[in-house]
Amino acid sequence: MAQITLKNIAHSYMEDPSKEADYALKEVDHVWRDGEAYALLGPSGCGKTTLLNIVSGLLRPSHGRVLFDGQDVTDMPTAERNIAQVFQFPVVYDTMTVRENLAFPLKNRGVEAATITERVQRVASMIGMERELDRKARGLTADAKQKISLGRGMVRDDVNALLFDEPLTVIDPHMKWELRTQLKHLHGQFGHTMIYVTHDQTEALTFADHVVVMHDGRVVQIGTPEELFERPAHTFVGYFIGSPGMNLLPAEVQGDRAIIDGHEVPLGAGYGDMSGKVEIGIRPEFVRLSDDVGLPVTIDRVEDVGRHRLVRTTMQGRPINIIASEGGPVPSENARITFDPSRINIYADDWRVEGRAV
């Protein structure tokens, strides 16, 4: 396994890029630690595949260098980078059996027969295809073929990194959960450096130790699922992670107080002078309903979502979502809301501002 260093990497698909907007991937400078599992998360078109292809060598970046364990591989072709890749759609040899498909990467490298048998068996059990090992791949469903692709990607234990590009797209929902759990388990067992591209936050948050959130060609935050939830570095992260995402309200911040539509809101930290667009961010989980204190809101809808209720409100036309416990009261009129001060984040021009303890 390898540590992967991205040194001032940026990429434009244009021949002669002149401004930042011309770059599909804006500059990223980061070290991905050996043996950790990363997810690249973001909406369609944000640059995930571009970044993954730079790591795999399918794409040469316009700027910067890629290092594997300190060795510069920027100009090295994919085949020489010693990586395993699993793509969105299955890549299997139809005329081979499932067993032969799984054994292929090992045979290719001259691994001895007993090890091949043992590894193939283990991977087959992981993807739930032990009983189909001697079937030809031809005629299997797309779902089964993709499981073979995943298995083939994971059969070697000597790769520098394992790269997955939306590998569960064609897998049925139940199996998706199963495979994701297995992948995480496998990571715990073998400690591969894994990079997993997805636009699905559940997939990213359940699979990865560190989630790399991308927005508009830029890496906006790299953090643990907990950090992304507690302290989103950018309003996009707040909005994109969570269900529903973080509430954002324009505010004026004065020290350890925020003023929202003339109402004072206590903050859990103190802030200096701020310029630009200032907003407070508060997750629906940390908003409380009240009938006597706090900001006045109009309740538009109450939805039952399993163990909680999602209360959709508006304040001066701006939506504020609240996750309320099942049994808690929801005022029928004159509803007000308060925020847990320690859970409030402050943003200036979309970037989080660190407060000082008060």
Binding site for ligand ATP (CB under 6 A): 13, 24, 42, 44-50, 199
Query: To the nearest whole angstrom, how small is the minimum distance from the Cβ of residue 4 to ligand ATP?
Result: 17
DSSP helix/strand/coil, 353: strand
217 by Cβ neighbours in 10 Å (0-12 / 13-18 / 19+) ranks as: buried
Query: To the nearest whole angstrom, how small is the minimum distance from the Cβ of residue 46 to ligand ATP?
Result: 4
Question: For residues 47 and 355, which CB has a smaller minimum distance to ligand ATP in the complex?
Answer: 47
Question: For residues 57 and 284, which CB has a smaller minimum distance to ligand ATP in the complex?
Answer: 57
Residue reference for tokens 């309200």:
249
Question: For residues 50 and 313, which CB has a smaller minimum distance to ligand ATP in the complex?
Answer: 50
- Write the CB contacts of 340 (distance below 8 Å, at least 6 apart in sequence): 268, 282, 286, 288
Question: For residues 21 and 113, which CB has a smaller minimum distance to ligand ATP in the complex?
Answer: 21
CA distance 42 to 197: 9
Bridging pattern class, strands 71-72 and 63-68: antiparallel
Query: To the nearest whole angstrom, how small is the minimum distance from the Cβ of residue 213 to ligand ATP?
Result: 11
- Write the CB contacts of 21 (distance below 8 Å, at least 6 apart in sequence): none
Query: To the nearest whole angstrom, how small is the minimum distance from the Cβ of residue 40 to ligand ATP?
Result: 8
Query: To the nearest whole angstrom, how small is the minimum distance from the Cβ of residue 178 to ligand ATP?
Result: 23
Question: For residues 13 and 351, which CB has a smaller minimum distance to ligand ATP in the complex?
Answer: 13
Sheet holding 308-315, edge to edge: 298-305, 308-315, 318-325
- Provide the CB-side half-sphere exposure for 205 (13 A, CA): 13
